[in-house]
Amino acid sequence: MRVVIYGVGAIGGIVGAALARSGQDVIGIARGAQLDALQTKGLTLRAPGGTFTVPFACVGSPAEVEFRAGDIVCLAMKSQHTEAALEELSRVAPSDTDVFCLQNGIANERRALRRFANTHGVTVMMPGLYLQPGEVTCFVAPCFGIFDIGLYTGGSNHADRAFAEVLNQSNIAAYLSDDVMVSKRGKLLINLGNIIEAALGRGADAGDLRERVRAEGVAVLTAADLDWQDVGAGDARRQKLMKPGPVDGVPRGGGSTSQSLIRGADTLETPYLNGEIALLARLHGVPAPLNAALTRLASELLRQGVGTGSLTLAQLEDWLTAHQTP
């Protein structure tokens, strides 16, 4: 089995480096300075347990990959880039390729299934950082993270079992799930706070805003008759396998949305996080004013070209009050 990592950012980078170090056949698809770094010096992974650098093959597009039987593809780009990535991938990869969505949100699997019959969800619990080309950081030990894996349509197949096996051999704890989207919805509830952190800055006081936004999300999932599983601090696996630890010389850079702002990205994944709750709310006739307003806030932060921590809590609360819609 060869693992194709499509999108070598924080998560794709940690997974690719871990797999390559264990001897797994890996090829990455990256772009820009990250592609240049991987092709010239390999990828450096920093973690509480130490630092290592590994080389693995990397190309600039799916068209440069000679797909073969047994390949699996891991989508690791942000959700807003999934549609374009799938369009490129579908031109060159066989339609029976096993595609794993290592992404936040719950919208990617449905889009992938339109093109690839064997589509898998992966709930990624892996605090990672990618700010410098050629370097990624993982902030937990003893494992690099915990993954729940299964077919988007339910159950699991041979590809899930094979992928879980190589992940476990690579210090990523992998678990097969009969209904992986239940787990992914639990992760979605956690990610609803990403845009709040980006607006206020990492570690800033958010009052009870995160709790209110999450409660709104729970109410919407309930109205939509969608089950979810706690994969946050209440997940006992975290206590044993994912203990936070310092990494020498690398401060925590915040969650994925904060990192996008720090890197100067021109899009954010918020429409597929808070916006997903707003969408479900509208489909099922229930209110989600906070998540709808936070989705609009992401566009406003990009329009203004500001970085993380650009608002105080009072300013954020005032903005949300002024921009709440059904």
> HEC profile for the chain?
CEEEEECCCHHHHHHHHHHHHCCCEEEEECCHHHHHHHHHHCEEEEECCEEEEECCEEECCHHHCCCCCCCEEEECCCHHHHHHHHHHHHCCCCCCCEEEECCCCCCHHHHHHCCCCCEEEEEEECCEECCCCCEEEECEEECCCEEEEEECCCCCCHHHHHHHHHHHHCCCEEEECCCHHHHHHHHHHHHCCHHHHHHHCCCCCCCCHHHHHHHHHHHHHHHCCCCCCCCCCCCHHHHHHEEECCECCECCCCCHHHHHHHCCCCCCCHHHCHHHHHHHHHHCCCCCHHHHHHHHHHHHHHHHCCCCCCCCHHHHHHHHHHHCCC
Residues 154-177 have pLDDT tens digits of 999 999 999 999 999 999 999 999
| pLDDT given at position 111 | 98
* Per-residue model confidence as pLDDT tens digits over 210-220: 999 999 999 99
Average pLDDT, the chain: 96
Tens of pLDDT, residues 198-247: 999 999 999 999 999 999 999 999 999 999 999 998 999 999 999 999 99
Instruction: Compute the average pLDDT of residues 24-39.
Output: 97
What is the distance between the alpha carbons of residues 309 and 303, in angstroms, rounded to a whole number?
A: 15
List the beta bridge partners of residue 146. 125, 173
Q: Please report the sign of the dihedral spanned by the C-alpha atoms of residue 141, residue 46, residue 250, residue 195.
A: negative
Rounded to whole angstroms, what are the CA distances from 16 to 226, 238, 239, 268? 32, 22, 25, 23
Q: What is the pLDDT of residues 78-113, one digit of tens each?
A: 999 999 999 999 999 999 999 999 999 999 999 999
Q: Which residue has the tokens 């973690």?
A: 47
Say what the pLDDT of residue 289 is. 97
Structure tokens that stand for 242 in this block? 């994912």
pLDDT of 253 > 90? The answer is no
Q: Return all residues near 299 (Cβ < 8 A) that are at least 6 apart.
A: none
Predicted pLDDT of residue 297: 97
